[in-house]
Amino acid sequence: MADIPFSLRFPSTSRAVRSALAETCTRLKAGESGADTVGQVEIVLAEVLNNVVEHALCHEEEGEITLSVHHDDEGWRFEISDDGVAMPGGIVPHPPLPGTNSPLQDLPEGGFGWAIVNMLAHDLSYRRKAGRNHLSFVIADLG
């Protein structure tokens, strides 16, 4: 697989997250992943990385995020680390999806992110070590 494994290190800004997402998707496509896999990776990474910027590193002017990617028999393995504040409770959130039996205009604007991450990724793991957050997960390679 071309350019796999790889690691990216980038500042905790929305612009840098967009660039990291674009580069990751380009490398996965070059690694012969199909559009469905790349789409799932993009959704999960966008949610996770934006949460790092908006929550873990929101008070840091010069926060840094590291993204490591490799491929194995289970699919694409990702590890994201940052030096921001710890996740609340020290665990990965596992919220249910908001109910959809309400009229569309009554659905909440937010609250779907971690539920979607939990639906698309597996082997979600979080730990805090030496002042850094480490989140890892796997997304199956659908071909």
pLDDT of residue 93: 87
Q: Write out pLDDT tens, residues 22-78.
A: 999 999 998 889 999 999 999 999 999 999 998 888 877 788 999 999 999 999 999
Sole residue written with tokens 């697989």? 1
Domains defined for the chain, CATH in brackets: 6-139 (3.30.565.10)
Question: Residue type at 10?
Answer: F
pTM of the model: 0.89
Confidence at 2, pLDDT banded by 50, 70, 90: low
Question: Residue type at 122?
Answer: H
**Under 8 Å between Cβ of 121 and 138:** yes
